[in-house]
Every structure is written in structure tokens, then in C-alpha cells.
Amino acid sequence: MGIFDKIKGEFIDIIEWTDDTTDTMVYRFERMGNEIKYGAKLTVRESQVAVFVDEGRIADVFQPGMYTLETENVPILSTLKGWKYGFNSPFKAEVYFVNTKRFTDQKWGTMNPIMMRDADFGMVRVRAFGTYTFRVKDAAMFLKEVVGTNWEFTVDDINNQLRNFIVSDFAEALAETKIPVLDLYSKYDDMGGFLTERIQPKFGEHGLELINLLIENVSVPPEVEQAIDTRSKIGAMGGVMNEYLQMQAGEAMVKGAENPGGMGGIGSQIAAGQIMGQMVQGMQQQQQQPQQGAAAPPPVPQAKAFHVVINGQQQGPYEMSVLQGMVTSGQLTKDTLVWATGMAEWSKAGDVADVAGLFAHVPPPVPGA
């Protein structure tokens, strides 16, 4: 290598950065101790800004374009260097390229549930997640407030802080707007716009701009989702609770019928039948209630009901019509223990006069069976 090649290698005459990544926000041009040549060419591409730093102080900022580095193009650097009458010799300065493109599809979400007070469900825990888009708006401020002396700075280096801004303001926005849980699903766009405007000043303090924020989902615990589903079913029935209870009882009977041979299936059918009967009786009583001011008839006497012991477990109370069905199915025998209000203790069904009569209608076993 000749002496002229060595001298030439000590000077930089082309300064540029071709970004081959998707997440680099700041890149410091590597000059490896070399000096920048007077008249060097600086190329700043679209979605880039070049910032010159002299001995730790931010000097000139270059927007997209091609520049010849001379005194008139670096006025602040010339002042810092003391070039009152121009310069024609190499100089040293750090050059940072700042990426000003939009960084899209950045994820945010609540790590822990957020407690909120809801008019319908009281205290509710909610989770939320979505995406946001941002970019560098003030390159000099971003270098000063965030990047520092890092030679390379990526989105991952600041994403956690930005997500914390969003989650914190999302929790405060829920408390301020007091939007009910049932209405949150229809307010995603409104909430996203509200949060974008609310959080923007915090991004601005770091030289950034929050372009938009999207809420993709707000979820509640399973028990609250179940309550919402129940309310939807009642609303679909015109808000009539009795019809909903009838539907629930019907579903219980269907589930019991799916296992007719098991004790649980028989018990669920009996219980569902009782619920249905009580609901129908209650609705009939409501429909037959006398008008206000008219004389009300005395209450209808309640039929006697018995508790029974099946497989060592107490069940009931069951009215006589239900017990008759249990006798027919063989579930209730003369040795089954029964008890009703007014009895001192449990007794065998065959020893209780009211119940013993039920067995008179059951045929004896078939001979030889």
C-alpha cells in the first residue's frame, strides 16, 4: 500500500446508511476513528434524518437529500468547531441516522387484570390487548432523551416503556369514561381515538408521535361472560324471567333424559318436574290474583310432601304424585325411609299410612320371574 492510499483511507468522503432491518430506529455511522473529509457527500434517504453530534453536543440535523459538507451546510457544527472563516481540512464528528418511518403492528396488552366498577356487575376484572403505530417526530429530542450514546437502537429497546404508557392510561380512561362492560365491545373505535389523544403528550416528551391505537379485545372473567350470556337469553325472551326459568328447567329434564338409567338422571327429572310445576302454579296464582281492594280467598291447602332416603342420601320433599311414580319405577319400596313435617322420626314407607296406600296399586312379582 502506497502512502497516498494510506492517507486516503484515513478520510471518509461518503456518509450514508442503507437500512436492511425492519426494527432499527437509530444507527450511528461507523467511522472507525477516521476523519470526515471536507466536501464529503452525505446521503439522507426518505424516512431518514441525519444528526451530527460534536463532542456530545447535538449540532446540525439533515432532512432527506444529498449534501456536500461545507461550511454553509453545517453552520452549527462550524460554530462549535470555531470555523469562523470556513474550513478545508478533515474533521471528526459522530453521525446518527434516525429512522422516521412508521413502526406498525406494535403489540400492547394488560399483564394483570384491571379492576373497574360496573353499574351492572359491580366490581369487574377486565383484560385488554391491541396494536399501535408510532414514529420518530423529533430526531434530536429522541437522541437526547432516549437513545443517548447507543450505537444502535431498536424498537424492542423502547416497546416496554410505550406499552406501559398505554396500559396505564387505558386503566384511567376506563375509570373516567365509566363505560359499562356490556357497551365496551361497541366502543373500541371511540376508546382507541380517545386513548391516542390522551397518550400523545407522553410520546411527544420522548420525541415520538403516536399515530393510532387500536383495541382488539376487552375480555372479562368466565363468570361475567356467563352472566352476560344469561342476560342475553332473558332479553331474547322479552325480559320475562318465568320463561327463562322454564327453559332452564326444560334443559335440566333433557340432560336427565340423556341418562335415564342412572339415579342422577331420575333425580334431575323429578326435580325439574317439580320446578316446572311450581313455576306453573306460581304463574297461575299471579294471573288469578284479585284486583286491589277486592276480598282475597284463603290460600289453597298445600299437599303433604315426604322426604325420602335413596342410596343413603336425603331427597325431596316429593308430593304424593311424584312418590307414586317412584313406587312404579321401583325406586321407592316399603322399606325406604320417609319423613314429613309432623313425624317424630324417619319411618319405613310401608309403615306410614299416607305412603303405604301407594303400594296397593303395584302388582306383585310375576311367579317364576
**pLDDT tens column, 241-289:** 555 555 555 555 555 555 655 544 555 455 555 555 555 565 556 555 5
Give start and end residues of each alpha helix (H) in 26-126: 75-81
Q: By the 8 A CB rule, do 46 and 58 touch?
A: no
Q: What are phi and psi of 189, to 5 degrees?
A: -65, -45
For cell 453536543, the residue is: 57
User: Average of pLDDT values for 205-231?
Assistant: 84
Q: Which of 18-22, 177-181, 222-226 has the highest mean pLDDT?
A: 18-22
How are beta strands 24-28 and 94-99 bridged, if at all? antiparallel
Cα–Cα distances in Å, from 359 out to 94, 325, 353?
A: 104, 11, 11
pTM of the model: 0.58
Please, what is the average pLDDT of the chain? 79
Task: Say what the pLDDT of residue 251 is.
Answer: 56
Closest CA relative to residue 185, chosen from 240, 241, 232, 233: 232
Closest CA relative to residue 281, chosen from 261, 306, 300, 265: 300
Task: Say what the pLDDT of residue 341 is.
Answer: 87
Lowest mean pLDDT among 46-60, 108-122, 197-211: 108-122
- The domain locations on the chain are 3-99, 103-223
Closest CA relative to residue 126, chosen from 137, 138, 118, 136: 118
Q: How far apart are the first and last CA of the chain?
A: 116
Q: Is the peptide bond before 317 cis (omega within 30 degrees of 0)?
A: yes
- 103-223: what fold? Tetrahydropterin Synthase; Chain A (3.30.479)
Q: Could you read off the pLDDT of 46-99 as tens digits, one per residue?
A: 999 999 988 888 888 999 999 988 877 787 777 767 666 566 667 888 899 999
Closest CA relative to residue 120, chosen from 174, 178, 176: 178
